[in-house]
A and B are shown apart, each in its own frame.
Chain A
Amino acid sequence: MTTTAAKAMKPRTTAGLQRRRPSRAHKTFYWMVVPALVLFVILHTIPTLTGMFFSFTNYAGYGEWDFVGLSNYVNLFKDDRIMASYGFTFLFAVTTTIVVNVGALFIAILLNSKIKFQTTFRGIFFIPNILSVLIVGYVFNYLLSNNLPLIGQALGIKWLSTSILANPDLAWLGIVGVTAWQSIAFSVIIYLAGLQTVPGELYEAAGLDGASPWRQFWSITFPLISGFFTINMVLALKGLLQAFDQIVALTNGGPGTSTESVAMVIYRGGFQGGEYGYQMANSVVYLVVIVALSLLQMRVLGRKEADFS
């Protein structure tokens, strides 16, 4: 590295550098980002704006269309199927977010304690994250429809002795369980990263002072990893509100339409139901809901950690 030698001889700041040859560096940097920006606008921004535009029309996805003003939006709120899909999606996403974060934090603390085969266990708990959500859904679909009822029958538990996925009242719990099984894997790793930033001496001091493990968790661990808690909660909720794959594999929205998520309704109505314009209005509402919830979460859970700058 000749560069290290040069660095030692001529220490300079970037400001000085840019003053010396401003235009050239400047131009190259633009060349580095403009193609990416153009592609991003074409593939992401334009579709988003097109979608918003068509939400004010009666476009079916083909043929002619007219502006219909806000009527799609008004109809959304009178549509039982849409409202039910939001109800299910919120219930599912909030429940799963809580289950995932409590479970992952518990497992991460266990993995971070003085156990044997730490690396092996860490490796095992991460496995679900490398598997396809759809395929995991299919495997659990079989387990929940065939094996779990047998266990339920053997234990004499009535609600468990038939497939919970075929039960309109319980199917959502099956989806929560399978999703949590898979999502915990990623959260565990983030929490482990967080726990490793906590200095061990703090626990030694607390141990000498006679603080119980429970007290140590709430007074030392949790405050110090609260940033990781915020990140996990925001990421989990945002991701789970978009649930699609696991529902396709587990219940396909059923029984009836009891486990249809918002993403699923948009997909079905938009691609198969000729409701392009209407589902775009649904999408815009969905966008507003996700942004509002994410911002609210960051505000409640702590502004500092979620600061993006």
Chain B
Amino acid sequence: MSTLTQHTPELAAGTAPKKRRRSSVNVPLTLLVTVLSLTVLIPLYFTIVTALKSPDQLGGNGLALPTSIHLENFSNAWKLTNFPNALLISGIVTSVAVVLTILTNSLVAYAIARNMHRPFFKALYYFFIAALFVPFPIIMLPVTKEMAVLGLDNPVGLFLLYTVYGLSFNVFVYTAFIKSIPAELEEAAIMDGASVWTTFRKVIFPILTPINATVGILTCLWAWNDFLLPLVILSDPNTRTLPLVQYVFQGQFNTDYTTAFASYLMAMAPLLLVYLFAQRWVISGVMRGSIK
């Protein structure tokens, strides 16, 4: 990868340190990080410029700016892959998976966390955790058959699977957090005559907001980018998700690299744009998940 980090002044200019404001800033290290960050930025830059070029502008080291902008790559890719349809399917599957996961997995974890002294709940906790070690390929063939029999070889089955498979990891994350919530809060609510359901909804769920964000972000990244599960589950070509579409159209892209790159860019763009604006929030969410 280091071979790629050599020359891109146009990218480096934006991120290189301009002035030394505080004497405590370590300039050599800042420069080193800048160079290292090019390993991430150059492939992205390359994807963008390739998507804007015409086929005869390819070649060379590929890093030159396009001499003329070819937006027809995007319209070609749009039509060829039926982009709006794939975007809609990916959007629906991802958002439903995120909402369902947050609502149901937090509830399950709450019940488990508050009853860890009961053998049934304790066993359930370890049952979910143990499933973390079961690699997906072992379930892949049987679950595909089962989903087809149940009539769930469609986007509904897909978000159902994300919600249910997410339990293993999410219960672990939620339980660790719920244990740290003082029980007095719920007792007070129950004294006031609230049921366990209401207590969860009104007292616990709001406190879970930071962990809900963590679980939501991780589920979103998983469901949006996943390839293997849609590949085996979805049977109708009209219900293909964005990554699946890239796979299916590889043959048709053939040597038409500029259209292919426009298609890749369109598939990556929605999440990249969200990330651009919610970057701090996303990273702190992921960080929170790693500290229990």
Q: List A residues at the B interface (Cβ < 8 Å).
A: 2-4, 6-7, 10-14, 17, 21, 24-25, 28-30, 32-33, 36-37, 39-40, 42-48, 50-51, 54, 61, 107, 110-111, 113-117, 119-136, 138-140, 142-143, 146-148, 150-151, 177, 180-181, 185-186, 189-190, 192-194, 197, 228, 231, 238, 241-242, 244-245, 248-249, 262-263, 266-267, 270-271, 276, 279-280, 283-284, 286-287, 290-291, 294, 308
Contacts and interface: CB of A to CB of B under 8 A. Distances in A.
A131 B286 contact: no
A48 B224 CA distance: 25
B45 to A, nearest CB: 11
Contact of A29 (B111, B146, B164): B111
A180 B1 CA distance: 10
B243 interface: yes
Given A32-B108, A124-B41, A135 B264 contact: yes
Contacts of B184: 7, 11-12
Nearest to A25: B196
B225 interface: yes
Contacts of A135: 243, 246, 264, 267-268
Given A30-B111, A51-B138, A193-B290, 8 more contacts: A10-B191, A44-B139, A124-B40, A130-B275, A132-B268, A189-B283, A244-B137, A286-B138
Interface of B: 1, 3-4, 15, 17, 21, 24-26, 29-30, 32-34, 36-37, 39-41, 43-44, 46-47, 50, 58, 60-62, 104-105, 107-108, 110-112, 114-115, 120-121, 124, 126, 128-129, 131, 133-144, 146, 160-161, 164-165, 167, 172, 183-192, 195-197, 200, 203, 221, 224-225, 227-228, 232, 242-243, 246-247, 250, 257, 260-261, 264, 267-268, 271-272, 275, 279-280, 282-283, 286-288, 290-291
B133 A114 contact: no
A3 B133 contact: no
Contacts of B128: 40
Given A127-B275, A190-B290, A29 B136 contact: no
Nearest to A289: B135
Q: Among the interface residues B36, B189, B242, B257, which one has the most CB atoms of the partner chain A within 10 A?
A: B36
Chain B contact surface mostly: helix
Contacts of A124: 15, 37, 40-41
Nearest to A139: B47
A127 B197 contact: no
A184 to B, nearest CB: 9
Nearest to A124: B37
Contacts of B291: 193, 197
Nearest to A160: B3
Nearest to A248: B247
Contacts of B164: 36, 39-40, 43-44
Contacts of A276: 141
Contacts of B250: 138
A28 B44 contact: no
Contacts of A148: 3
10 contacts: A32-B108, A39-B160, A48-B142, A50-B146, A54-B142, A119-B280, A130-B275, A185-B40, A263-B135, A280-B141
B191 A6 contact: yes
A78 to B, nearest CB: 21
Given A124-B37, A135-B267, A189 B286 contact: yes
Contacts of A138: 246, 250, 260, 264
A244 B107 CA distance: 33
Contacts of B105: 36
A32 B225 contact: no
Given A135-B243, A135-B246, A291 B133 contact: yes
A7 B185 contact: yes
Contacts of A127: 40, 44, 272, 275
Contacts of A21: 190
A189 B139 contact: no
A221 to B, nearest CB: 15
A189 B121 contact: no
A28 B108 contact: no
B289 to A, nearest CB: 9
B243 A132 contact: yes
The 8 closest A-B pairs by CB, nearest first: A47-B142, A283-B138, A32-B111, A7-B188, A132-B225, A28-B196, A6-B188, A47-B143
A12 to B, nearest CB: 5
Contacts of A13: 183, 187
Contacts of B47: 139
A14 B114 contact: yes
Nearest to A266: B137
A169 to B, nearest CB: 19
Contacts of B121: 29, 33
Contact of B3 (A50, A151, A193, A279): A151
A47 B139 contact: yes
Given A6-B191, A46-B146, A135-B268, A125 B134 contact: no
Contacts of B129: 308
B286 A139 contact: no
B273 to A, nearest CB: 11
